[in-house]
Structure 1
């Protein structure tokens, strides 16, 4: 069953998602892609749409698809049996209990364990999805994860347009060009506050590079 699910996941992204991202959405790179070719690594990106995860996975080579795990809310994606199966086996999520109901489970340790096994995590530092094309303050979880895994590179990626293609609360898909811009990876060094400011500044620079309003 494991290999069948892996094959289904490969087909889903190769046959459906990558063509949609390339042709329907019209993904445009603003600079040369800066992406990991293996794990452990963390992709950190702004979050406006359910399409964010699909686009980020589509950026990576199919040969490393089995290593990719988006960090996602368990209470949302495991609501029913079909959604849970699809989220776990096709999207490949790492389910995190964001409500903190189970105090015995540490979300940062869950992520760290995945990184220790060589995974490439997709992590949204803002937490939940925000308003279309508006970036909110970063949560401190990204710092805690970097402190726990200081040897792991964090790759900032900024996306613009997906919040209009499929914004939070909408089910209607509207084709809209998406621009994506990449940054050199960031590693934890010296202190959590320094890492936080560096990541925040990287996102501000990426946002400005595609001529969007400055991040407040």
Structure 2
């Protein structure tokens, strides 16, 4: 019920219109990785997926922001079934990616924002290494770059209410991780693949 309401609100407020460029909405296990400019990004990308994909696709979010109670907890838990990660390690040897590995091992798809934080500028920040490690550990999972167009203006960082604008969600061709590829080279290729989808 909450999931359907979130999808309907997203469509009503910002459109979240999907454009599939080089890939199609198919029942494959995937990591959708996108630019990050707004609080609406997660809901917009998730809502742009057809319902049969939404059911097996879990956004990744920071526990310190989304892991509490109240409205955010309702959205993150029953609404989106997010995978929560700890940005601050309590134990030095703890792997913050373990919840993501577990979700992928269970056959679920993920929505990931490799910049790591919302970025108000048009040019994306460098990607953090998590996407590389996920691709190395789960090479069978398809990597789909996504560009969220207009989300920055719909609800920019610091805004409390969304502005009703049309947001287009552009899904690109799968990115293939190459055997033995250097981490920095892979992350730059991934960033370039998202940027190339910008209008």
Sort the TM-score into its range (normalised by shorter chain).
0.7 to 0.9
Residue 165 of structure 1 pairs with residue 128 of structure 2: no
Return the index of the structure with the highest Cα Rg. Answer: 1
TM-score, structure 2 normalization:
0.86
CA distance in 1, matches of 2:77, 2:134: 22
Unaligned stretches of 5+ residues in structure 2:
none
TM-score, structure 1 normalization:
0.80
Using the TM superposition, give the Cα deviation of residue 107 of structure 1 relative to its aligned residue in structure 2, in angstroms.
2.1
Secondary structure at 1:100 match in 2: coil
CA distance in 2, matches of 1:82, 1:176: 23
Is contact 1:27-1:178 (8 Å) kept? yes
Using the TM superposition, give the Cα deviation of residue 173 of structure 1 relative to its aligned residue in structure 2, in angstroms.
1.5
Unaligned stretches of 5+ residues in structure 1:
1-10, 211-216
Is contact 1:39-1:67 (8 Å) kept? no
Alignment-derived partner of residue 206 in structure 1 = 197
Is contact 2:32-2:111 (8 Å) kept? yes
Is contact 1:47-1:126 (8 Å) kept? yes
The worse-fitting range, judged by mean Cα deviation, of 56-65 and 78-87 is 78-87
Match of 1:26 among 15, 35, 58: 15
Alignment-derived partner of residue 99 in structure 2 = 110
CA distance in 2, matches of 1:54, 1:82: 14
The answer to which structure has the higher helix fraction is 1
Q: 1:117 to 1:150 in 2, by over 3 A?
A: same
Match of 1:185 among 174, 177, 181: 174
Secondary structure at 1:202 match in 2: helix
Secondary structure at 1:107 match in 2: coil
Alignment-derived partner of residue 81 in structure 2 = 92
Q: Structure 2 matches for 1:36-75, cutoff 5 A?
A: 36-75=25-64
Secondary structure at 2:55 match in 1: helix
> What's the Cα RMSD here?
2.3
Secondary structure at 1:54 match in 2: helix
Higher relative contact order (Cα pairs below 8 Å, separated by 6+ residues): 2
Q: 1:28 to 1:56 in 2, by over 3 A?
A: closer
Is contact 2:148-2:169 (8 Å) kept? yes
Secondary structure at 1:99 match in 2: coil
